[in-house]
Amino acid sequence: MKVRIKELRLEKGMSQSELADAIGIARPYLSQLERGDRQLNDKISAKIGSALSVEADDLVDRGAHGYEAEATLLDAFRSLDVDQQDVWMDMARAALRRRK
């Protein structure tokens, strides 16, 4: 799923600071939400949706191909210790070499 907060915010002509102030969060936190670095929770989704005059479900494109799989892989990778991450990286490099 792809987060659409920035796209919808810009359609409404709002800055990050304006939206963050409207929903009571810090602008850097909103920036992280827009980039997908932080996950939306129901409470924040509802506040953002209300401020942008959209349904909370409109804040994400659940059909964005591969996004959920990438997010899952990234979360799994981050949970590994350094040695395990090295093994995953070796596998990823080998997979990329095969594609060439």
pLDDT tens-digit map of 4-48: 999 999 999 999 999 999 999 999 999 999 988 888 889 999 999
Residue 41 amino acid letter: N
With 0-12 / 13-18 / 19 or more C-beta atoms within 10 angstroms meaning exposed / middle / buried, residue 10 is: exposed
Q: Identify any residues that bridge with 60 across adjacent strands, giving them in sequence order.
A: 3
Phi, psi of 19 (to 5 degrees): -70, -45
User: Token pair of 48, please?
Assistant: 């953002």
The mean pLDDT of the chain is: 89
pTM above 0.85, yes or no: no
Per-residue confidence (pLDDT) for residue 83, from 0 to 100:
95
Per-residue confidence (pLDDT) for residue 31, from 0 to 100:
95
